[in-house]
Amino acid sequence: MLTTAANNALAADATVPEGIEATARNGDLTLTGTVQYLSQRPAVEKVVGGLIGVRHVRNEIGVVSGVEPTDVELLVRRALDRSALVPDDSDVQVEISGSTVILTGHVRNRAERDAVVGSTWMARGVAMIVDQLEVAG
């Protein structure tokens, strides 16, 4: 019954991508499938976490791999352009390794770092960010 209730809740929620499924055993719910953005994993978990009878949720949802380097680079550059404090010759570099993005270079303050990292999370397929940015200001 819990499996049916969880899958009905997932199907009824417009924010849950297709292909996400739940299975239950003794009140323990397991979520499987894939999403395009890492931020979708906890969002899906919230949809079923409050159902009656759920004791624990194991989130085994994967993130689609295959980050497009140009997409990530473009998002990071746009974030830097929006920040009036970041000089046009910023040395922030973006490296892609599978679904991991490695950020290196210098920013002038914590707000700039947050803008770059936050923008990187918006790229499709990013599962992990290695933030090696240095605050130089």
Short-list 50, 49, 58, 62, CA closest to 25: 58
H or E segment and range at residue 62: strand 62-63
The segments of the chain whose pLDDT lies below 50 read none
pLDDT digits (tens, 9 = 90+) for 16-43: 999 999 999 999 999 999 998 877 888 9
Tell me which residue of 76, 74, 65, 78 sits closest to 124, measured CA to CA: 65
What pLDDT score does 84 carry? 57
| 47/6 Cα distance (integer angstroms) | 8
CA dihedral (48, 35, 97, 79) positive or negative: negative
pTM of the shown model: 0.60
